[in-house]
Homo-oligomer: A and B are copies of this chain.
Amino acid sequence: MIRRKRGTLFVISAPSGTGKTTIIKRLLSTFDDIYFSVSYTTRPKRNGEIEGVDYVFVDEKTFKDMVEADEFLEYAVVYGNYYGTPKRPVLERIERGIDVVLDIDTAGAMSVKEKVEDTVLVFIFPPSIDTLVERLRLRGTESEEVMRKRISQAMVEIERSNIYDYWVLNDSIDRAFEELKSIVIAERCRRKRFELWGI
């Protein structure tokens, strides 16, 4: 009767300290048919991080060669380290009908949206600015200056939230997860992703 044409690319962004990672993990454990795209980075591996799971860790030469060969959907330099989304694994899966999730910042989201048709952008908000500041403080052994930088970066991200398709407020992890899950299911039902078939 009807069938899906392609997979969908979901980009999920949030200011740091919003609880995004927890929500995405829950999403991936709920849907076994969603592919999570692991980013490449040149920053050193931290304690507990797993190669190929948290990041693909490469040296700067390798990263720059990949940039030259147009192998990234988007990439950026943050505090002197490169981060990038590999293009081929993402586009191939979408062609094969598999949904893909990217966990990237607002600048990356903007450039992916331009390149991949019908990308779905989801922005997760903290319950309030106060909660966000509180969470960042609890998290960090960082200096007051780094803290201030992080907070102002969070404000920049929030300002860019108006290019996103969906807004999710994380004042309850269960509700935020339910909303993200619903966005995935609903986007799969959008008419433009289907064709009539066999009639």
Contact = CB atoms under 8 A, between A and B. Distances in A.
A184 B186 CA distance: 8
Q: So how many copies of this chain end up in the complex?
A: 2
A162 interface: yes
Contacts of A2: 125, 167, 169
A133 to B, nearest CB: 12
Q: For this complex, into which size category does the number of interface residues on chain A fall?
A: 20 to 34
A195 to B, nearest CB: 10
Of listed A2, A126, A181, A186, residue having the most chain B CB within 10 A: A186
Nearest to A176: B189
Contact of A191 (B1, B162, B179): B162
Contacts of A165: 190-191
A161 B199 CA distance: 14
Interface of A: 1-2, 123, 125-129, 158, 161-162, 164-169, 178-179, 181-191, 194, 196, 198-199
